[in-house]
Every structure is written in structure tokens, then in C-alpha cells.
Amino acid sequence: MPLTMRPGCECCDLDLPADQVGAVVCSFECTFCSGCAEHLGRECPNCGGQLMPRPTRVGDALLRHPASVERIVGETPCPGRGYAGGGAPVQRLTRKPERGTGERAALDELLDEVLAGTLSTVVDGRPWCVPMLFARDGDRILLHGSTGAGALRQVAAGAPAALTVVSVDGLVVAHTTFESSANYRSAVVHGELVTLDDADREQALDVISERLVPGRTGEVRPMTRREQVATLAMALPITDGRWVLKARSGGPGDPDEETTAWTGVVPFRTVAGDPEPAPHALALGAPVPASVQGLVARWGR
């Protein structure tokens, strides 16, 4: 009997393609990723048996004996990397563990590039979501808004929150719609928000301004006290084990069937257009400042 080549890790649900290394199995074909297997002490939690690397199946053999599409995921919390300490389940990390190196740098790069994310929290058992501008400041994400904004008051009161950001980098056009996909980078950062007090707020608001239009704070007057107190500033810590990064890049795989279809990628990117002066600036004849020139140069065209 050929191995059924189950498609994912029973613990963290990581994709485990049949033609790639990284899967381990017990003698009953309980299947795990190598990351979870490490956490499990390389012992199957179901049968107690040894977990060993699963042989790959490639090429014609895989075409003749396709991998199973039936997903099995255990009900018991996985002791592996998909769960935070203290037993609190967070979203499972489904990015390949072997790509772990540099993940934090990739997270930072994404957070520093995408302008708006979705802040989600829970109100009366239902998801409550609001898109927000944000700025990464080291190991925390700064958010701000009016002190009157409803959703912000909720999360500022310590409700569990998550900030989701995504960049669609391209559409992957394969030889079938099933194989077609998108290139993307996404992150979900979980945590509880901290409301910044007076001492921290002024600097935090400047960090947010500088992240959006670098150099601008040096061109205009400082915020007044009144402006500051009208603004709610919050921080979401970036905590190990409480964020998820996923990404896809590259083209479609080689077709596994006869086809004359074009395959490839249509890349997408965000660009800035020409700065549009407001009537005040036009009347004044004010030149486009360095901050705005830099912004346009940064985002290219």
C-alpha cells in the first residue's frame, strides 16, 4: 500500500506537499511537520510511536498516486509553535518552519511598507474591525485615533486585539484556475493594546507622522497640548509566538498536464502620483516640501 501522503500537519495544519521534505509520520501514518515533531519529542501523541521523516513522492509517481486531500487536525492543543505559552491558543503558524530564519525581519519590512491594516477585536462575542494607519516602533506597533472613536475605546480598554496587514504583490496565472494563486505577504499580530500616557504619547504621535510622511514633523509646528489630548495613542506589542507571517512569491509551478496555456505572474504594486496642492498652497505659491518630494520618490511610479 502506498502512503496516503496526507496534505498537512495534524498539529499545526502546515501544508506538507507530497513532493517536499519536512513531513514526519508514525507507523499509522499520523502526519506532522518537523517543527511540531520536535515539540512532540518525535513521539506520536496518538500511538506513542516514533515519528520518522516521510519519504517524498515526485514526478510521475505522484501523478499516478496523488496525495490525499483529506485534512486531519487533532483537537488537542498542539504543544508546538502554533500555540503561545500559558495554553492560550493563537493563530497557527502555517508558514514553513524551515523558512523561520529572518521571519522577524520580513515582518518588520512588511509592517514598515503597508500603510493601513485592520485592527480586529471582540465585542459581545462578535468580531469588531476597523482599518487603521499604523507605525512600527521597534517591538511595538503604534496606532492612533480620536479619543471618541468607538472601536478604539474597546481595544484601549484591554480587549484582545489583532492587527492584520496584507500586501498583494501579484496574481499568479497558472494553467488551471485551481492552481492559480496570488503572491502576497501578510501578517497578523495578536496582543492587548496599551494606551499611551502623556509622557509617551507625544513621541508616539511623531513616530506615526514620520512613518507616513517622513520629514514632515520637522517642517510644521509641534502638536499643541490640546491636539495631543484629543488623540488616543496606543501600542500593540510585537511578542514572540503571537504573530503570524505568511508569504507567497514566484511563479506558478510547471504544469503537471499537457497544456498550451500561458502561465506567469502579473505583478502589482502601490505607487504615488503627483502631489496635488491645496488652494492654500497654490495661493501661497508654497514649494513642494522635501518631505512630500521624498514620499513620491520613495513610492516611485
185-224 footprint of its own copies as x/- string (CB under 8 A): -x-x-x--------------xx--x--xx--xx-xxx-xx
186 close to 167: Cβ distance less than 8 angstroms: yes
**Rounded least distance, CB 103 to its own copies, Å:** 17
In angstroms, how far is CA 126 from the centroid of its own chain? 22
Between CA 85 and CA 81 the distance in angstroms is 9
Q: Which is nearest to 155 in space by CA: 66, 257, 211, 235?
A: 235
Q: Is 279 in the site for its own copies (CB under 8 A)?
A: yes
Q: Is 106 in the site for its own copies (CB under 8 A)?
A: no
* Contact pick of 47, 63, 73, 297 for its own copies (by CB under 8 A): 73
* Contact pick of 21, 63, 288, 297 for its own copies (by CB under 8 A): 288
Stretch that binds its own copies, among 26-34, 57-65, 96-104, 112-120 (CB under 8 A): 112-120
Measure Cα distances from 260 to 123, 175, 179, 254, 255 in Å.
52, 8, 15, 12, 10
* Contact pick of 61, 198, 268, 297 for its own copies (by CB under 8 A): 268
Q: Is 130 in the site for its own copies (CB under 8 A)?
A: yes
Q: Which is nearest to 196 in space by CA: 231, 226, 161, 164?
A: 231
Between CA 105 and CA 221 the distance in angstroms is 34
- Say how many residues make up the chain: 301
Joined together, the cell numbers standing for residue 266 give 502579473
Q: Is 259 in the site for its own copies (CB under 8 A)?
A: yes
Q: Is 75 in the site for its own copies (CB under 8 A)?
A: no
In the region spanning residues 2 to 61, those forming contacts with its own copies, defined by CB under 8 A, are 7-8, 13, 15
Between CA 37 and CA 49 the distance in angstroms is 12
Q: Is 247 in the site for its own copies (CB under 8 A)?
A: no
Size of the site for its own copies (CB under 8 A): 108
Between CA 207 and CA 224 the distance in angstroms is 16
**Rounded least distance, CB 124 to its own copies, Å:** 6
Q: Is 280 in the site for its own copies (CB under 8 A)?
A: yes
* Contact pick of 3, 62, 106, 173 for its own copies (by CB under 8 A): 173
160 close to 237: Cβ distance less than 8 angstroms: no
Q: Is 164 in the site for its own copies (CB under 8 A)?
A: yes
* Contact pick of 56, 94, 195, 239 for its own copies (by CB under 8 A): 94
